[in-house]
Each structure stands twice: as C-alpha cells, then as structure tokens.
Structure 1
Amino acid sequence: MRRARGRWRRRLLHIAVCVCVIVAVLAGVALIGNDFRFRLQHLQVLVGDESLEAVLTMPTGTPPRGLVVIIHGDGPIDADNDGLYFPWFEVAADAGYATLSWSKPGIAGSDGNWLDQSMEDRAAEVSAVIDWARGRASIPTERIVLWGASQAGWVLPKVAASRDDIAAVIALNPAINWLRQGRYHLLAELDHNSAGQAERDEAIRCSEQTRRLLKQKADYNTYRATTCDPEPLTEDRWRFAIRNYASDATDDLVAMGGEQVPVLLMLSTHDRHVDVSETAATYTSILGAKATVQYFDAAHTMARPAVEDSELLGLVIAVLWPRALMADNSLAAYRDYLEALP
C-alpha cells in the first residue's frame, strides 16, 4: 500500500510540474504576443457638447508621418475593439503612422448613443474628430488616412468627399447598398447552414416583411406586432434601421472620386456579410485606377476563417498571439500601402 501511495504521489507531482511548466510557457507566449510596437495614450475628444473616449497610438523611435483615423463597423465597439485593433495599430506605427480611434457614443464612457446615429451623423462625427485632431500640435495630421470596416463603407466616402485633407482611404469589406447587403447576408448564412427550401422560403418571406415595414417607417409597436423574425430587434435597433436602411454608397463614391482620393480595398474571399464582388465592381467602375483591390483568405472581419468559425480557437489566439487572428498578408498589405503613400 505504501509503495502504491508513493507511486501516486510521484505521478501527481509529475503532473503538477508539467502543468506548471505549460502554464509558465503559455504565460510567456501571451506576454510576448501582447507586447506591441507602439505607444498608447488615452484621450477625451470633445465633439460639440459630448465627450468621446479615445486612444492615440504613436510609433516608437521615429517621428510620425501621418495619422490614421479609425471608423468602426456595426455594433457597440470601444476604442481598441477589445484589443482586436492592436495589430492594426502596430503595423500602422511600423509604417510611421499614429492611429486615432474612439469608443462609439454610449460605449466605454463615451457620451450619447450610437444607435441614435444615421450614417450622416457618423460622418459628421468623424469630421469633427479630425478637426479636433488638427487643432493639436501633438497629433500628426500632415497626412490623414481613413481606415474603416464593414458599415464604415457608408461613412468613409462621405467624409472623404466632404474634405480636402484626406490622403487615402483603406476600406475593409465595405458594403454598397444596405438592403442588398442584408439580403446577401441572409442568403449566405442559409447556404452556410445548408438550409432546406422551406427554411429558405420562410426566411426570405420574413425579410420581405421587414423591408416593407422599414419602407413604411413603421413604429416599433407595429414592427413587434407584425414581425415574424425569430429574434426581433430591440427598439433602439429598430430606430437605427429606420434611419439607415436606405443607405447606398454609390453617390458618395462618385463625389469622393472627384477628390481623387486613393483607396485600398481589402476584401475577404469568405465574407458572408458583404457581397465583395459587388463592392469591387462598384469601387473600380467609379474610382478606376484610384482603387487598389486586394483579396485575402479571410472572413468578414479579416480574420482567418477558422478563427471566425470557432469562438474557442479565436479566444485562445486572441489571448496568446492576437496578430495571428488576422488573415495571411492582411496586416503586411496595410503596412505596405501606408509606407508607399507619398
């Protein structure tokens, strides 16, 4: 019995040592993986009567040559997107650029409510933040580059068309038309989930009903009383949809084309949210040679498809080595484009 107990003690000790070694190794990897090449400071940006919580990242060791202004996609996003923007901040710093990003209204201490905004409101907010930055000698605004993803596709061209100080635009999977984008996303998800014909027909019927209610600008009570959506929108979200369902980037892209602003269009080959074929065709037909189109083996967020399809895998990589979340060559393409700007 004593020998048996001794063997078990040795085994448990061996297991404990192995666990400690693994934990120490993972902790070391996480420390290295989350050590980014930029300096970060927290700021408060005053826009009218409201304050936005912001972060400003700066290159280390070299004077910055310009400023990247971040325009978020959909959702309640804070200034660094829970750290998911850090790899983008880092490669911008490597290219000599500072980056300015802020929490959406109502998120992480920012005043207001982002669901009260139209795309015009969002564009006005971006422009006001740029004006605020230009009034501060500590922020490098010699070159101003707009970086935006997804829903930002309805904001980027509005800002670029309304100003004469935008050096370039980087757009990640921007949509063109709100309603067409919604239908594309619906059908892509049905295909991804191998939905049967009856399920497809019902989903399309519900989508058509929602479109009719949007075009009627139905109040929330009417929407809730008549919707067949299995997950109805909240009242704030419904009002947000009413404000923005008619969004279409085409006219703003034409206006932006008049400003001769170069665009890097970064598109994902596994995007189930945005029809990137329509996006590429629209941008190139309007902007011509000013639009540089690059495709990546990525999901909508520019993450590797395996990461987006597995929350657990995404969490592990995000904790240990956030840069590895991004699709191959996506960060390098962004850095190279910034470095090549005149």
Structure 2
Amino acid sequence: MRKYVLILTSVMLVIGIGATFWVVRGLSDFDLARHSIREVSFELDDAVLSGTLVMPMDATNPPIALIVHGDGAQDRFSAGGALPLINALVDAGIGVFTWDKAGVGESTGNWLDQTMEGRADEALAALQAISALDDINLDQVGFLGFSQAGWVLPRVANQIVPAFTVLVGGAVSWRDQGTYYNRVRMGSEGVAEEEIEQRLADRILRNDALFDASVAPPPTTDMDPARFSFVAGAYWEDSTDFISGMKGPVLAIWGEDDLNVDARSDSVTFQEQLMPLTGDRQVVMVPNATHGLLRADLFNYQLPSDWPWYLHYVFLGMGRDAFAQQSLDQIVHWVHASVE
C-alpha cells in the first residue's frame, strides 16, 4: 500500500511541476520587460492619444505594426489580452505601436464621438507620429487591425501606401455584420430558426428606419445616447469600394469559426475586390480559429465576457499558445516578406 502511495505522490508531484512550468511559461507572454519600451503620444483634433511603442532589443530597422483596435472602450493592451500577440510579434522581430482609444486610459477625447473616417484619420496620425521618431523608416511601418478596423484600414490604404496592412476578422458591411452577430447569438440561446429569421427581419426594418440619415432620430431609444450617435454614424458603412482601392501589401485573415463576422461571405468580398491575389495580397481562412484567431476548440465565444471563469486562467497559462496553430507565424512571415 505504501508503495502505491509513493507512486501516486510522485506522479502528482510531476504533474504539479509540469503545471507550474506551463503557467509560468504562459505568464511570460504577459510581460514586456524583455523588450525596448517607449511611451509615445500624438494629437488629433482636440484629443491627445497616448500609447506604447514596443521594439525588439538591438533590432536595426525592424518592421513596425500599428495596432488598430476593434469596437469598444479598449486601452492599448486590450486589458492585457493583446500582450501575448504583442510579445509573439516582437520576439519575431516586429515592433508594435498600440495606443489607448480616445477617452480610455491616458488618452483624452471620446471614442464614441468618432466616425470610421475619423478612426482612419487617427491611424494616419499615429503613423505620422511613429515615422517622425529617430531611426524609424516609414517604409517599414504598417498596420495590424481587428474587426471594426475593416471599415478603417481600407480607407487608410486608399490614401497612402502602407508598408503592409494586416486585417484580422475584418467586417465589410456594418448592417450585415450586426445581422450575422445577432443570428449567432440567438442560435446559441436556443431560439428556433424560424423565430430567429422573423426577429432579424423585424430588427432590420426597425434599424433601417431608426438610422435613416434623412430623418431625425426618435427622441428615445434603448441605446445609450452616445452609443446611439456612434452607431448612427456607422450603420450604413460598407467597405467594398474602399477594399478595391487598397494600396500596398494586404493580408486579410479570418478564423474559420468566427462567431462575430461572417468570415465566408466577407472573405469572398475581399477576394473579389483585391484581385488579382498575389504573394503580397492574400486572403486567408484559418481552421479552428475564432474572431481573434484564438483556438476555437477552447475560446470560441463572441465576447471575452462570455468566457466561463476558468478559461481566463487557461488563457493566462497558454499565452501565445492560445492562438490557432500557425496563425501568428503566418502573419509574422507575411509581414517580413512584405518589407524585404
């Protein structure tokens, strides 16, 4: 009996040591201390946007990706969730500049006052601020955007020729994206298909009238007034024409299991509008990947707030390994190839 107790104790000890090593390895992806860090601010209209430039140590003229966030009041590191991605990029020799949205963290202003055109102006202002720094080569600076950046970065790449544009989970039509999101949401809540279609049809009619720019908005809605104003300015956004005019290298990439954006439909639009596709203009679908390219078998929820409590600890333990296999490597290799 004692022999079996010793064996079981030894096994549990090995498992405990392994688990500790795994967690420590993952937590290192949430620490930027091993990189060169510089605080950078820039102005746009009446706002001052504050951010962090993270560079590989001892790197000479590396490519630099400017992060364009998706929807919501996001700080520069997306409440820490973006740190594994940033560490993976910087470890691979790609600098990253990311900033707090207007009115978030150390930035002034209010992101809800922005239009998609205004967000594009902000991205261009960030590019100007970074390219003005010593030892920065504008030919190496590009963009990495997520979700809502689908209405931002195509605008940017119509105005300038970025060194590269990477768009993750980019949406094409705001109206269609909202319909898809709500269809998935209702399906996950067990609503019958017939009822889903009726609810969505009613919703589209209601919203089309609500956000009709030719009439004044109703005096009351269920939405916070600031959010209503933001959505009203974006409801009819469709980036199709901007996509066709994008300049420079473009990588449009989606998770195959995206629950937020209709990846199959939107990827087809990008394929059609970016033709001809070449080595530096690619449309990619990643298997077993979420809206943000995390592993779908573990993390496929529409919002991080939907995660079960334990998944937050799993994410901390996994770090960059929480991303779908080869998705980050694909971005890294493509960025380096684009600036060679």
| Cα deviation, residue 208, structure 1 | 2.4
Q: What SS does structure 2 have at the residue aligned with 1:321?
A: helix
Confirm or deny that 1:254 pairs with 2:241: no
Confirm or deny that 1:323 pairs with 2:323: no
Aligned position for 1:170: 166
| Cα deviation, residue 194, structure 1 | 3.1
In 2, Cα distance between the equivalents of 1:40 and 1:326? 24
Confirm or deny that 1:300 pairs with 2:291: yes
Aligned position for 1:214: 211
Q: What SS does structure 1 have at the residue aligned with 2:52?
A: strand
| Cα deviation, residue 251, structure 1 | 1.4
Once the two structures are superposed, what CA deviation does each residue of 1:260-311 show, in whole Å capped at 9, x if it has no partner?
x221111111112211122211111121214312222111122222224433
Aligned position for 2:41: 44
Considering only aligned residues, what root-mean-square deviation do their CA atoms show, in Å?
Answer: 2.6
- The TM-score, its normalising length taken from structure 1, stands at 0.83
Cα distance change on mapping 1:245 and 1:46 into 2, 3 Å:
same
Stretches of structure 1 that go unaligned for 5 or more consecutive residues are 1-13, 225-231
Q: What SS does structure 1 have at the residue aligned with 2:274?
A: helix
Assess if the C-alpha contact under 8 Å between 2:179 and 2:200 holds in 1: no
Q: Which of residues 51, 57, 61 is equivalent to 1:60?
A: 57
Assess if the C-alpha contact under 8 Å between 2:30 and 2:80 holds in 1: no
Deviates more, 1:139-148 or 1:326-335: 139-148
Which residue type is aligned with residue 20 of structure 2? V
In 2, Cα distance between the equivalents of 1:242 and 1:169? 27
Number of aligned pairs?
314
Which residue type is aligned with residue 299 of structure 2? V
Matched residues, percent identical?
Answer: 26
Which residue type is aligned with residue 270 of structure 2? Y
Deviates more, 1:328-337 or 1:138-147: 138-147
Aligned position for 1:88: 85
In 2, Cα distance between the equivalents of 1:193 and 1:308? 15
Once the two structures are superposed, what CA deviation does each residue of 1:137-167 show, in whole Å capped at 9, x if it has no partner?
1444331211101110000011111013x12
Once the two structures are superposed, what CA deviation does each residue of 1:225-275 show, in whole Å capped at 9, x if it has no partner?
xxxxxxx3211110001111111101111221xx3x221111111112211
| Cα deviation, residue 32, structure 1 | 3.8
Which residue type is aligned with residue 25 of structure 1? T
Cα distance change on mapping 1:202 and 1:254 into 2, 3 Å:
closer
In 1, Cα distance between the equivalents of 2:55 and 2:71? 26
Cα distance change on mapping 1:303 and 1:187 into 2, 3 Å:
same
Aligned position for 1:9: none
Aligned position for 2:5: none
- The TM-score, its normalising length taken from structure 2, stands at 0.83
Q: Which of residues 168, 179, 192 is equivalent to 2:188?
A: 192
Alignment of 1:18-29 (within 5 A): 25=20, 28-29=24-25
In 1, Cα distance between the equivalents of 2:27 and 2:196? 47
Which residue type is aligned with residue 307 of structure 1? F
Aligned position for 1:270: 257
Which residue type is aligned with residue 125 of structure 1? E
| Cα deviation, residue 99, structure 1 | 1.0
Q: Which of residues 57, 69, 82 is equivalent to 2:66?
A: 69
Stretches of structure 2 that go unaligned for 5 or more consecutive residues are 1-8, 302-306
Cα distance change on mapping 1:216 and 1:145 into 2, 3 Å:
closer
In 1, Cα distance between the equivalents of 2:91 and 2:210? 48
In 2, Cα distance between the equivalents of 1:133 and 1:35? 23
Assess if the C-alpha contact under 8 Å between 1:220 and 1:238 holds in 2: no
| Cα deviation, residue 29, structure 1 | 4.5
| Cα deviation, residue 45, structure 1 | 2.2
Alignment of 1:327-338 (within 5 A): 327-338=324-335
In 2, Cα distance between the equivalents of 1:247 and 1:282? 15
Assess if the C-alpha contact under 8 Å between 1:169 and 1:263 holds in 2: yes
In 1, Cα distance between the equivalents of 2:191 and 2:63? 48
In 1, Cα distance between the equivalents of 2:310 and 2:137? 37
In 2, Cα distance between the equivalents of 1:184 and 1:130? 33
Confirm or deny that 1:241 pairs with 2:231: yes
Q: What SS does structure 1 have at the residue aligned with 2:237?
A: coil
In 1, Cα distance between the equivalents of 2:77 and 2:95? 14
In our comparison, the structure showing a higher alpha carbon Rg is 1
In 1, Cα distance between the equivalents of 2:89 and 2:156? 21
| Cα deviation, residue 183, structure 1 | 1.1
In 2, Cα distance between the equivalents of 1:183 and 1:307? 22
